[in-house]
Structure 1
């Protein structure tokens, strides 16, 4: 489990394709502290560490993960949001994030609010995922609060710290992001769909 509070940025050093899988080697400040088999969130995707070398670690994304996330779009040199799993008994500063990306969204608008930024994202409603105003959502693994909620889009307000210490600062209109919707909202949506089917 994660909290959506990004620890550090990593940088993609190498990408190797093996059959339908992609191996990503990431350079970061926390790589030397990781262990083989450890779970680490990469842009909101929970991936297992399979290799460690000085200052770098390697993880594998399988086809299912690549289909549900934007990891297949990563290029060497790009920034990746990193978070290690939550320590039991620690403060939960963000919200409950599983590291299981539901789908991607497209950034449709970025507005500079003179001290903060308003990002708007549009997503496909076919999966019946929903947001609610003042609810939580993970965007590229970052725990954020929904400002405006519509049927197929939502906005989030970004403070300078988040803008500077995550990969949102490099995001441009038209770029895709990973979304993990609130787990409680997903259960409610599923229950409603079962009720409607009866």
Structure 2
């Protein structure tokens, strides 16, 4: 589990036969062990090799199908977050790292001191998104401001734009989308 509060922005160092190597500056990987989970752009990945400034992870075909990893290359920036520890507070919301699908930025504009994004989501996912509810985009915990058909709005403050990869998003960019985990489980419970 994760919180959607990004701890550092890293980069893709190499890609070889489905194994991605991610690097980050400083001491981010100091307490990470082989087998630990790390969220990369909202995708829960398992560390198979760790160095002082990098970790490697296998990317499955399922992950390629449902995330933007097909569009990422060497030197692309990524949001990184280590798994939630039981002695740690939750500042964002509970995030599983199991991406539900790919959404697309359809508009971006300044609104006061923040930046408003309009995100188009696949029709099958919009029912899980609610106004003032939580959403996770590229691993970042955010609040939904408004919904219109299959497009929802988020407002991002300057700090989050600088501390994550969201500041670099442009119109037509695709993003990883994870809906609120509680809504997903509620649907399953009500279905049965």
Same topology, TM > 0.5: yes
Q: For 1:106, which of 101, 104, 107 is the aligned residue?
A: 104
24, 27, 41: which one aligns with 1:28: 24
Quote the Cα distance in structure 1 between the aligned partners of 2:31 and 2:15. 21
2:119 and 2:151 in contact (8 A); partners too: yes
> Which residue of 1 is the match for residue 154 of structure 2?
156
Residue 41 of structure 1, aligned match among 39, 42, 47: 39
1:187 aligns with 2:173: no
Residue 15 to residue 27, structure 1, CA distance change in 2 (3 Å): same
Runs (4 or more) in structure 1 with deviation over 6 Å come to none
8 Å contact kept, 1:131–1:137 = yes
1:79 is aligned to: 77
- Cα distance change on mapping 1:150 and 1:184 into 2, 3 Å: farther
CA change 1:118–1:10 in 2 (3 A) is same
Given that 2:39 and 2:139 are in contact with CA atoms closer than 8 Å, whether structure 1 keeps it comes out as: yes
Residue correspondences, number? 190
- Call closer, same or farther: CA 1:123–1:102 in 2, change over 3 Å: same
| 1:70 corresponds to which of 68, 71, 77 | 68
Q: Distance in 2 between matches of 1:149 and 1:114?
A: 20
Tell me, yes or no, if the aligned pair for 2:126 and 2:150 is still in contact at 8 Å: no
- Of 51, 54, 71, the residue aligned with 1:53 is 51
- Distance in structure 2 (CA, Å) of the matches to 1:90 and 1:126: 34
Bigger mean CA deviation after superposition, 136-145 or 88-97: 88-97
Asked if the contact 1:129/1:186 (under 8 Å) is kept, the reply is: no
Q: TM-score, normalised by structure 1?
A: 0.90
- Structure 1: 5+ residue runs without aligned partners? none
User: Is the contact between residue 138 and residue 179 of structure 1 (CA under 8 Å) also seen in structure 2?
Assistant: yes
Q: Secondary structure at the match of 1:146?
A: strand
Aligned Cα RMSD in Å?
A: 1.6
Deviation at 1:6, TM superposition (A): 0.4
Structure 2 segments unaligned to the other structure (5+ residues): none
1:12 maps onto 2:35 in alignment: no
Q: Conserved in 2, the CA contact under 8 Å of 1:129 and 1:181?
A: no
Mean CA deviation greater in 55-64 or 123-132: 123-132
